[in-house]
Amino acid sequence: MKSNILSSLLLVLLCHFAIGQNPRVFVLTDIENEPDDAMSFVRFLTYSNHFEVEGIVATTSCWQRNKTAEWRLHDIAQAYGKVRDNLEIHEKGFPTEAYIHSVIKKGLPVFGKEGLGDGKDSEGSDWLLKSMLKDDPRPLYIPAWGGTNVLAQALWKLGKTQTESTISKVIAKLRVYAISDQDDTGPWIRNTFPTLFYIVSPGFEENGGGQYHYATWPGISGDIFHGRFLGADTTMIRNHYLDEHVRHHHGALGEKYPKVEFLMEGDTPSFLGLVNNGLNDPEHPNYGGWGGRYELYIPPFKKYMYEPETRPIWTDTQDEVYSAITQSLHTSNHATIWRWRTAFQNDFFARMDWCVAPTYSKANHPPQVVLNHANELTVKSGTQVVLSGKGSDPDKDALSYTWLFYKEVGSLNASSFVLTNSTAEEIKFTAPSVSQAKTMHFILEVTDNGTPALTRYKRLIVNVLPK
């Protein structure tokens, strides 16, 4: 037992010291079941320098049960190759087209558990297992845009071929973010490996009467309920806007971005939280970020779920966000994503500009943000707290500042707490009265005045102690 504890502590320390490197990412996608996977893949490739892409596997799903479409991944990767050198002008580290082609694989063309068990290995599941077993202390993030039977098979084979010690170490490094349960292997995975880090709005869609409008990920397109958009401004996700900023006059990759039919990029939240923007913290889904916010608990059983959940998972929670459209507050799980929409859409549009901008000076680039103190402070109730940060911009653009108290995050129940002078570089407030230690999260947003305007962040945690 002592050696197991020491091994676990060592793994945590190694993961901690690996922070700062690009996250390892392995995508599973039922691309071609509808347009949104291809849309998400275009955006994913424009951020591929933020990731260490270890695999991209074409899978099946409830919408595409007996075929995979790896050809479409290669098609989009070929278009990426035509703009890759241009992207590299604006930020370094983009993988080559040849490398992207080399990590594209396919799963079995069968649905769900039909692809699980003896004789059900595929080049996709073998490639994923190879990544799982790498001697690398960093977590392996697995965004699942479709069915998860390739992941299930890799885990099944892991359990059949490796020692208990190795299995435990591998499971401890995996981070799954599934866009709902698009086959019946999700519950099997969660029940069979009860310690596996798993983000999901559990359940499936059937004949339009299922779970999807309740899930968090549709927040990429707004507060959606039975086809109606509530709260969020949808201007930036509509086809005419995407024509201007993505599809037209943005090179070969933009031309591969399909028209929106149902919603824009339903799979994108699974990797948006991995973008290195200063706000996201993929190891803490409860902190909130571009990919949404989630809490760890056992959700109650609903009729659209395959079966009851038996252990805690990272799943739906809510933020209360002001909507300029309705001029009122909206509280929903979707809002945990759409509250950041202006920033993440502009960021993508800038990257599409990079695809055709021939020199660095011909496009906009994100500002950099630093705090003038540690990113975690400990104070006592009643004391004055000073928060201070500074931005710089590679394009010499003017910068604006906004401090946000993220009231849903942290342990302090401070719904009436209001920041004053929140658009200054430095703000001050009196630490609230507490009877036991509490935490507060603050976000510094710095936005340039370039075209499109780009935003970067710093997160600050304040620990408030009793007097």
Contact assessment for residue 321 and residue 409, using Cβ atoms and an 8 Å cutoff: no
Q: Check residue 296 and give its pLDDT.
A: 98
* Neighbour tally for 467: CB within 10 Å: 10
223-243 per-position pLDDT tens digit: 665 555 677 888 999 999 999
The CATH 2.60.40.10 portion of the chain extends over 364-465
- The distance from CA 433 to its chain's CA centroid, rounded to whole angstroms, is 35
pLDDT(3) > 50: no
424-457 per-position pLDDT tens digit: 999 999 999 999 999 999 999 999 999 999 999 9
- The C-alpha atoms of residue 291 and residue 143 are separated, in whole angstroms, by 11
**Mean pLDDT calculated for residue range 250-255:** 98
262-283 per-position pLDDT tens digit: 889 999 999 999 999 999 999 9
**Mean pLDDT calculated for residue range 313-326:** 92
Q: Check residue 227 and give its pLDDT.
A: 54
191-209 per-position pLDDT tens digit: 999 999 999 999 987 655 5
Q: Where are the alpha helices (DSSP H) in 64-122?
A: 70-90, 97-102
Q: Check residue 221 and give its pLDDT.
A: 86
pLDDT(377) > 70: yes
**Mean pLDDT calculated for residue range 366-377:** 98
Residues pairing with 401 in the sheet: 446
Q: Check residue 228 and give its pLDDT.
A: 59
- From the list 151, 295, 287, 304, the residue with the least C-alpha distance to 216 is 295
Q: Can you name the CATH fold of 2-354?
A: Inosine-uridine Nucleoside N-ribohydrolase; Chain A (3.90.245)
CATH 3.30.450.20: does it fit domain 364-465? no
pLDDT(398) > 70: yes
- The C-alpha atoms of residue 301 and residue 27 are separated, in whole angstroms, by 28
Q: Check residue 10 and give its pLDDT.
A: 38
Non-local (6+) Cβ contacts of 100 within 8 A are 45, 48, 53, 56, 77, 80, 81
Non-local (6+) Cβ contacts of 382 within 8 A are 430, 431, 433, 467
Residue type, 424: A
Q: Write out the H or E segment, with its range, that includes residue 400.
A: strand 399-405
* Neighbour tally for 402: CB within 10 Å: 15
- The C-alpha atoms of residue 138 and residue 17 are separated, in whole angstroms, by 9
Answer positive or negative: Cα dihedral of 354, 357, 359, 361: negative
The CATH 3.90.245.10 portion of the chain extends over 2-354
For residue 14, the number of C-alpha atoms closer than 13 Å in the C-beta half-sphere is 14
pLDDT(139) > 90: yes
Cα–Cα distance list, 319 to 272, 347, 390 (Å): 18, 22, 27
Q: Check residue 205 and give its pLDDT.
A: 77
- The C-alpha atoms of residue 274 and residue 202 are separated, in whole angstroms, by 21
29-48 per-position pLDDT tens digit: 999 999 999 999 999 999 99
* Neighbour tally for 395: CB within 10 Å: 15
113-118-121 Cα angle (round to 5): 75
Non-local (6+) Cβ contacts of 429 within 8 A are 384, 385, 387, 417, 419, 420
**Mean pLDDT calculated for residue range 59-76:** 97
Q: Check residue 20 and give its pLDDT.
A: 53
Tokens of 117: 């068990």
- The C-alpha atoms of residue 14 and residue 8 are separated, in whole angstroms, by 10
- The C-alpha atoms of residue 55 and residue 57 are separated, in whole angstroms, by 6
Q: Which residue has the tokens 């086959």?
A: 183
